[in-house]
Amino acid sequence: MCEMTDPVVVGLTEDEKILKETVRRFAEQEIAPRAREMDAKDVFPREVMSGLGKLGLLGITVPEEYGGAGAGIRAQAIVVEELARVSAAVTSSYAAHSNLVLDNLNRHAGPSIKEKYFPALCTGEAIGCLAITEPGAGSDAISMRCTARRDGDAYILNGTKIFITNGPVADVIVVYAKTEPKLGSKGISTFVVEKDFPGFSVGRKIAKMGHRGSPFGELIFQDCRVPAENLVGEENSMVRMVLQGLHRERIIWSSEAVGIAQGAYAIARKYVVEREQFGRVLADFQMVQEKLVDMALDINLGRLLVRRCAVMADMGMNAEVALEASYAKLFTGEMAERVTSKGLHMLGGYGYTQEFQIERYFRDAKAMPIGAGTSEIQRLIIARKLLE
């Protein structure tokens, strides 16, 4: 694989370089051989998650005392990019589990929740998901209608969540609900729900065009009884968990977009140096070179934006990261679409077939400007800031 657009190895610590090599080896040996089948059959690789657990990658941002590796978002972004070069499906399931659930709970839950749930989540024995989106509340997530009502030593949850990555297979569900609907965003609370709690059920598993193999679907809470000790933090105070979680999720989602683009670039580059037309390899033609250059430049710029945000997040610059994560998410989401589209085109008719798998990267890239807040929402956030 060409190293031309590979991380800016400059600036990576020794530990980060080892991490990157370790994840790349695992991705190429354990994930790449099954990526095509996962996509074709839409099957979830639970054993791959256990493998990631054995490498200590699931709880990468969780402190060691709870079974994690005690690293930061920089490290998690490296893991995600390396996984996404090979399989966006594994990456999405990893990111939902490791970033949306473990990283979020690590920042907002108390010791009892961490002691109870983190060990199994860090090994991959239990799978996690985070549920915010509802059929009627996507971009406007704060308008969620799922409710939680206190009843003695429990809360009773009612509502439906949709498009939840890992939802159909999750053992531990982190869910947002309104405990005080009339307070709007100030009435949101967070709960940890186990799949066996009465009143919880999995609805439809939803088939999608990309990220196939990462299960995704509907979750139903019908008078679901959740013990009061599974309330995360304080009642009515979790809009900050929603917002801070979204900023960190956007960094990780952006790194996934960079990885998808890098994977497609590698396929296209290999093809154009081998394929001959008009008696020369395609890479000899300047119009082909131009595409390759534009792709490499796009990937490099995306990676720099991700790295900048991740460093800021690890430095605790939370206020600044909100805006920077939107820039990164906006750029990398659209960049992944551009790069995978150009890459597919460079393979001509073969690109349009399933033989070289570049069409899988093209389908996977399509989700990148949608999930974790669409491009329009990132533009709204940035415009608001610019006009402040």
Q: Confirm or reject binding of residue 174 to ligand FAD (CB under 6 A).
A: no
Q: Confirm or reject binding of residue 143 to ligand FAD (CB under 6 A).
A: no
Spatial distance between the Cα atoms of 18 and 350, rounded to a whole number of angstroms: 36
Q: Confirm or reject binding of residue 45 to ligand FAD (CB under 6 A).
A: no
Q: Confirm or reject binding of residue 163 to ligand FAD (CB under 6 A).
A: yes
Angle at 22 between CA 21 and CA 23, to 5 degrees: 95
Please pick, from the candidates 231, 335, 373, 378, the single residue that binds ligand FAD as defined by CB under 6 A: 373
Q: Confirm or reject binding of residue 165 to ligand FAD (CB under 6 A).
A: yes
CB of 217 to ligand FAD, least distance (A): 10
- What length does the chain have? 388
Site for ligand FAD in 65-104 (CB under 6 A): 96
Q: Confirm or reject binding of residue 159 to ligand FAD (CB under 6 A).
A: no
Nearer to ligand FAD, 52 or 372 (CB): 372
Q: Confirm or reject binding of residue 367 to ligand FAD (CB under 6 A).
A: yes
Nearer to ligand FAD, 75 or 365 (CB): 365
The single residue of 82, 249, 334, 359 carrying the catalytic annotation is: 249
Q: Do the Cβ atoms of 128 and 101 come closer than 8 Å?
A: yes
Q: How many CA atoms lie within 13 A of 66 on its CB side?
A: 26
Spatial distance between the Cα atoms of 252 and 95, rounded to a whole number of angstroms: 7
Q: How many CA atoms lie within 13 A of 280 on its CB side?
A: 6
Is residue 65 annotated as a catalytic residue, yes or no?
no
The DSSP-derived string for 203-243 is EEEPP-SSSTTS-EEEEEEEEEEEEGGGEESSTT-THHHHH
Q: Which stretch binds ligand FAD (CB under 6 A): 111-119, 133-141, 152-160, 317-325?
A: 133-141
Q: Confirm or reject binding of residue 203 to ligand FAD (CB under 6 A).
A: no
Q: Confirm or reject binding of residue 370 to ligand FAD (CB under 6 A).
A: yes
Q: Confirm or reject binding of residue 376 to ligand FAD (CB under 6 A).
A: yes
Q: Do the Cβ atoms of 183 and 177 come closer than 8 Å?
A: no
Residue with the closest Cβ to ligand FAD? Answer: 138
Nearer to ligand FAD, 202 or 283 (CB): 202
Q: How far apart are the first and last CA of the chain?
A: 45
Q: Do the Cβ atoms of 336 and 368 come closer than 8 Å?
A: yes
Spatial distance between the Cα atoms of 314 and 324, rounded to a whole number of angstroms: 13
Q: How many CA atoms lie within 13 A of 387 on its CB side?
A: 6
Please pick, from the candidates 55, 132, 258, 381, the single residue that binds ligand FAD as defined by CB under 6 A: 132
Q: Which amino acid is at 251?
A: I
Which residues have a catalytic role annotated? 249
**Binding site residues, ligand FAD, CB under 6 A:** 96, 129-133, 138-139, 163-165, 211, 216, 367, 370-374, 376-377, 380
